[in-house]
Amino acid sequence: MIDPKPTASHFINGAYIEDKTGTPIDVIYPATGEVIGRVHSATPQILQAALAAAKAAQPIWAAMTGTERGRILRRAADMMRAHNRSLSELETYDTGKPLQETLVADATSAADALEYFGGLAGSLTGEHVQFGEDFIYTIREPLGICVGIGAWNYPTQIAAWKAAPALACGNAMVFKPSETTPLCALKVAEILHEAGLPAGLYNVVQGLGDVGAALVSDPLVDKVSLTGSLPTGRKVYAAAAEGMRHVTMELGGKSPLIIFDDAELEAAVSGAILANFYSSGQICSNGTRVFVQKGIKPAFLKRLAERLGTAVVGDPMDEETNFGPMVSERQRDIAEGFIAKGKAEGAQLVCGGTRLERPGFWLTPAVFTDVTDDMTIAREEIFGPVLSVLEFDTEAEVLARANDTDYGLAAGVFTQNLPRAHRMVKALEAGTCYINTYNDAPVEAPFGGVKLSGVGRENSKAAINHYSQLKSVYVRLSPLESPY
């Protein structure tokens, strides 16, 4: 196993840097509750050093060809794959997610993003528009300095999903990981620089919300990309508006997963498990409102309980384990609070929702039935391993109920009736829809929310538009006339 202790708190201008005058932040391994490291929150001096480094490096980076920039990102992708095991162990130390997951879902997903945007970098262009005898051309330009602010559930992936398109487009980035998971982004920075990224282009600073807030409102900053909760999103969006900064907001959700009577039962149960219990339920796009049509409900609940009984809960570093602890005591307390509310409001807890008698932040997979649309557990994002089953009769009814939420991150449909599946996803108010699957998020697919789940898209070619802007150039070849 690797030693998870970070070399230093921050990574600025191509090197680790420490400043112990900042507030200490303990790094806690969620599986045991032990302190495994300590970082210090960025002081104003550290923040200014990071922004100054980004400011100095960005024009030189932007002047390189896209192919040259892309080559470095693709080299970083190869290095991430070569170091997949140690990066996965670090992700497990940071988050508590089982190694069985982190080996296939974190550094690998980060590498995919670096490879994909590295490949795209050389093809980023403006366009030519013939306009009679005249013509217009557009120049695709970087935005400048981008700030990335991360959540704690996918620290390696979030760091790379923001770095890759930002750097491909010729920007510099200052990234602030979540204070709960400060380790992985430092490794992403280290690898990018080992791959040849010039100093100053990807800087990592640690800290709580106040550090994020200071970055968002700094005059040097041109764009902010946040992955976080809706309340934080509201604050960050408002602060960014002050300086007319571009934003990408990847926020929370309360997504519906709809299972029709004609669904293939085992696949639907797999979908519900993936939509609720992967990463101990701490995934923004989770389908936590599981609408099950009346006819299939008894069989669905029976198989769900049977299969949850086979979950291997335990040491996340054991590759047999497929269900780990929650990320923190605080997050477990929040989930337990929702479970208590669910019971108090009349839902039936059919399994799980209990702590394990061991150190660390363990909460077993919980399933509620008899959940109604107005209950707190059906309305608010829990961000924990809590699945709610809601019963429905008709397609029109479930569609209206599924859309009756302020969020709109994802939605899923299980049915063998394909016309119905397509009809449903056309009408579902969500940024990502799944048919007979759930939570796949390849870099090729745009990812982001509608309604209160966010603004903008990560991944895919769509992300390019959120990290670059177009300059129009009008070129006159026809005679120029003026009124006097």
Active site residues: 162, 250, 284, 458
**Beta-carbon count within 10 A of 480 CB:** 7
Closest CA to 137 of 126, 125, 150: 126
Alpha-carbon span 354 to 342, nearest angstrom: 14
User: Taking the complex as a whole, how short is the minimal distance between the CB of residue 133 and ligand NAD, in angstroms?
Assistant: 47
- Residue written as tokens 């960014």? 240
∠ Cα 229 226 92 (to 5°)? 75
Residue 179 or 395 having the CB closest to ligand NAD: 179
224 forms bridges with which residues in the sheet?
147, 247
User: Taking the complex as a whole, how short is the minimal distance between the CB of residue 386 and ligand NAD, in angstroms?
Assistant: 14
Alpha-carbon span 420 to 43, nearest angstrom: 55
User: Taking the complex as a whole, how short is the minimal distance between the CB of residue 276 and ligand NAD, in angstroms?
Assistant: 14
Name the residue whose CB lies closest to ligand NAD. 212
User: Taking the complex as a whole, how short is the minimal distance between the CB of residue 174 and ligand NAD, in angstroms?
Assistant: 12
User: Taking the complex as a whole, how short is the minimal distance between the CB of residue 396 and ligand NAD, in angstroms?
Assistant: 29
Residue 235 or 420 having the CB closest to ligand NAD: 235
Residue 176 or 401 having the CB closest to ligand NAD: 176
User: Taking the complex as a whole, how short is the minimal distance between the CB of residue 58 and ligand NAD, in angstroms?
Assistant: 22
- Tokens at residue 462, please? 């769509």
* Pairing of β 256-259 and β 410-414: parallel
Q: Residue 304 in contact with residue 367, Cβ under 8 Å? A: yes
Q: Which residues contact 229 (CB under 8 A, 6 or more apart)?
A: 151, 251, 252, 381
Residue 57 or 188 having the CB closest to ligand NAD: 188
Q: Which residues contact 309 (CB under 8 A, 6 or more apart)?
A: none
Residue 31 or 251 having the CB closest to ligand NAD: 251
φ, ψ of residue 350 in degrees (nearest 5) = -90, -25
Alpha-carbon span 170 to 430, nearest angstrom: 31
Q: What b/e sequence results for 292-319 when a residue is b if at least 16 CB atoms lie within 10 Å of its CB, and e otherwise?
A: bbeebbeebbebbeeebeebebbbbbee
Residue 89 or 458 having the CB closest to ligand NAD: 458
Report the interface residues with ligand NAD, using CB under 6 A. 149-153, 176, 178-179, 208-209, 212-213, 216, 227-229, 232, 235-236, 250-253, 284, 381, 383, 409, 449, 454
Residue 229 or 372 having the CB closest to ligand NAD: 229
User: Taking the complex as a whole, how short is the minimal distance between the CB of residue 128 and ligand NAD, in angstroms?
Assistant: 35
Q: Residue 107 in contact with residue 88, Cβ under 8 Å? A: yes
Residue 292 or 410 having the CB closest to ligand NAD: 410
Q: What b/e sequence results for 406-423 when a residue is b if at least 16 CB atoms lie within 10 Å of its CB, and e otherwise?
A: ebbbbbbbbbeeeeebee
Residue 203 or 415 having the CB closest to ligand NAD: 203
Torsion of CA 280, 285, 286, 289, to 10 degrees: 150
User: Taking the complex as a whole, how short is the minimal distance between the CB of residue 181 and ligand NAD, in angstroms?
Assistant: 8
Closest CA to 207 of 15, 23, 12: 23
User: Taking the complex as a whole, how short is the minimal distance between the CB of residue 454 and ligand NAD, in angstroms?
Assistant: 6
